[in-house]
Amino acid sequence: MSIARTPLLAALLAAALVSSALAQSNAPDPWPSLVTDIFQGREIAIADGAVSLEAPKRAEDAAIVPMTLRFPDPAKVKAATLVIDQNPMPMAASFTFGEKAGVDSIETRVRVNSYTDVHAVAETRDGKLHSEVKFVKASGGCSAPAGKDPDEARANMGKMRYREFKSAIAGKREAQIMIRHPNNSGMQMDQLTRTYTPAHFIDAVEVWQGDELIFKMEGGISLSEDPNFRFTYAPNGAKTMRVVAHDNKGGQFEAKWPIADAS
């Protein structure tokens, strides 16, 4: 089972370069150029209600900042992208949803490197883009070390967990996928040897109920160590939840679990 790659990753890397150049010149707002790089300069409606973003005003732990995207009308949403404007690699995660997935909300955890705007951009099935922006105060989430315990992170890489919760929305289910991975940012320079720990991160995840896609994600170093996704979805009666994850060094990780009381 391989994961389809798109040119998005290339755009993401290009955006990373632009962003770091901007950071050095103290440019006030990287967003216009991010719109060009990530969204090909397309028009983006602001706060029109198609997507909302929950983000903390001040991050408690800059390496684990919870972000929740909500979609009041999930049937109309095709994809959503989370952009942390001032991060070295601003595109944190780009989600594409299955046609009948019915994802009302998705929460993940990211690193925030400095005070920044965070944009949630949704693409509706009519091809239009919609956004909401929040300002987050945090620092050091990317250049700080990824792992509090690198030995453990290495030993457990690729392990996954699945949890289910009662959804507050009638007819929906809520689940959480957790993937053990150091998600090294490649930004920690060894002061003593002047070398960098190579970037090593989950760059793609697919989540399936039976043979229907709930969502796939493409991501980068802005996702926290041990990538974590909590989401609601419309159950299709399938009896298994299956995850395929992939990292930038060719690592592939798969797991599946029975869905409780599948009907």
Partner 1 sequence: MLRCFLALLAPLLVAVLAPARAADEARFQLEEIASGVYAHQGETSLMTRENLGGIANLGAIVGDRAVAVIDTGGSLIEGKAFLAALREKTDKPIRYVINTHAHPDHIFGNAAFVGPDVTFVGHKNLPRALAARGEHYLSAFRQIMGDALDGVTIVAPTMLVADSTTIDLGGREIVLQAWKTAHSEADLTVLDKKSATLFAGDLLFLRHVPVVDGSLLGFLDVVDRLAEIKAERVVPGHGPAVAPWPKALEDERAYLMRLTADLRAAIKKGESVKDAAKTAGEEERPKWKLFEDYNARNATAGFAELEWEGP
| Footprint on this chain of partner 1 (rule: CB under 8 A) | 54, 56, 60-61, 63-64, 66, 68, 107, 109, 139-140, 143-145, 148-150, 152, 161, 163, 165-166, 178, 180, 188-193, 197, 224, 226, 228, 230
CB closer to partner 1, 14 vs 189: 189
CB closer to partner 1, 59 vs 91: 59
CB of residue 62 to partner 1, shortest distance in Å: 9
- What whole-number distance in Å separates Cα of residue 263 and Cα of residue 257? 15
CB of residue 103 to partner 1, shortest distance in Å: 16
- What whole-number distance in Å separates Cα of residue 251 and Cα of residue 255? 14
CB closer to partner 1, 63 vs 214: 63
Locate 77 and state its tokens: 């949403």
CB of residue 120 to partner 1, shortest distance in Å: 16
CB of residue 35 to partner 1, shortest distance in Å: 28
Residue 86, φ and ψ in degrees, nearest 5: -90, 0
Q: How many helices (H) and strands (E) are present in the chain, helices listed first?
A: 3, 15
Residue 261, burial from CB neighbour count under 10 angstroms (0-12, 13-18, 19+):
exposed
CB of residue 38 to partner 1, shortest distance in Å: 26
- What whole-number distance in Å separates Cα of residue 145 and Cα of residue 183? 10
- What whole-number distance in Å separates Cα of residue 175 and Cα of residue 197? 33
CB closer to partner 1, 48 vs 165: 165
CB-based contacts of 261: which residues, under 8 Å, 6+ apart?
A: none
CB closer to partner 1, 34 vs 120: 120
CB of residue 8 to partner 1, shortest distance in Å: 27
253: which strand partners?
Answer: 245
CB closer to partner 1, 52 vs 143: 143
* Cα separation values, 258 from 163, 179, 212, 237, 262, Å: 11, 17, 15, 11, 8
